[in-house]
Amino acid sequence: MDVLQLLKAEFKDRTLDMNFVLDGASGSHTKEILNRVCVHLAWEAQFLFPELAAISLSNDAVLNRYTQSLQDLRRQAQLSLTDPSGEVTKELAQRFLKHSHWVEDKVMTLMRQKIPTAEREELYHVFADAKQDLSAMPAVEFVI
């Protein structure tokens, strides 16, 4: 299996979560969703970002936008953890949906073009193991 297939499946799962938020999920269900989103963002920051940086030129527009998007989502996720009204969490959901579409369109296309298939297959195992490890942590922090 290729890492791009894993990424696509992960974005699909988080998109479903974000749609639940936009449809009015609340309480403990929202906290579970926020935890999964935080795990996802940590996974992107710790594993996808370095891969993108390795294949991008310095000051590459895709890398710069990706970095900014992750930073914005991190701030929004932190605010969402203390959002009793749910409005900040809905804003996070909307931003995450835009981010995921953009990553699928731009980042994954770039990865497909620049990373050989054999390497993408090896990355699948690295990313899958990392996702499992991050999911097992009680709280996830990430830095870009």
pTM above 0.85, yes or no: yes
**Is residue 144 situated within a structural domain?**
no
Least confident among 15-19, 26-30, 66-70: 26-30
**Is residue 92 situated within a structural domain?**
yes
Over residues 50-102, the pLDDT tens digits come to 999 999 886 789 999 999 999 999 999 989 888 877 899 999 999 999 999 99
**Is residue 61 situated within a structural domain?**
yes
Domain encompassing residue 77: 3-136
Tokens describing residue 53: 């940086």
Residue 43 has pLDDT above 90, yes or no: yes
89: nearest Cα among 99, 98, 100, 81: 81
H or E element, residue 74: helix 61-80
**Is residue 69 situated within a structural domain?**
yes
**Is residue 40 situated within a structural domain?**
yes
**Is residue 62 situated within a structural domain?**
yes
Cβ-based neighbour number of residue 101 at 10 Å? 12
Share of the chain above pLDDT 70, in %: 93
Number of folded domains that form the chain: 1
